[in-house]
Amino acid sequence: MREYTAQEGAALVAACTAAAAHRRDHHHAAAVTCHPHAVEVVHLGHRAVTVCHDCESDSGFLPERDAEEVARVHRAQTLGDSAGRLGPAA
């Protein structure tokens, strides 16, 4: 079995954490989404990823406060009918 460096191990944990958050149950009929969207912030140490279960997108890992702000803004943006996807540049 292969030994991982600390950086490789942390990257694997982060990838698995984000993948697990995306797999959480939150399904709708084809054209239905929540308003505001169902957004979750998943913390991992001092970093966090914002996951939108309706857009099926995420912010990538950010500092915790930035991820919380991305979630707040995305919820506000999706109160109505408009919906922009999350992303690292969001």
* Alpha-helical runs (H) found in 24-84: 64-77
Q: What Rg value do the Cα atoms of the chain yield, rounded?
A: 14
- pLDDT tens digit sequence for 50-78: 998 888 889 999 999 999 999 999 999 98
Encoded amino acid at 44, one letter: L
**What is the value of pTM for the model shown?**
0.67
Q: How many CB atoms lie within 10 A of CB 61?
A: 22
pLDDT of residue 89: 42
pLDDT at 5: 85
Query: How far is the first Cα of the chain from the last one, in angstroms, to the nearest whole number?
Result: 38
* Residues in contact with 13: Cβ distance below 8 Å, sequence separation at least 6, in sequence order: 44
Which tens digits make up the pLDDT trace of 8-24? Answer: 777 777 778 777 776 77
More confident: 37 or 22: 37
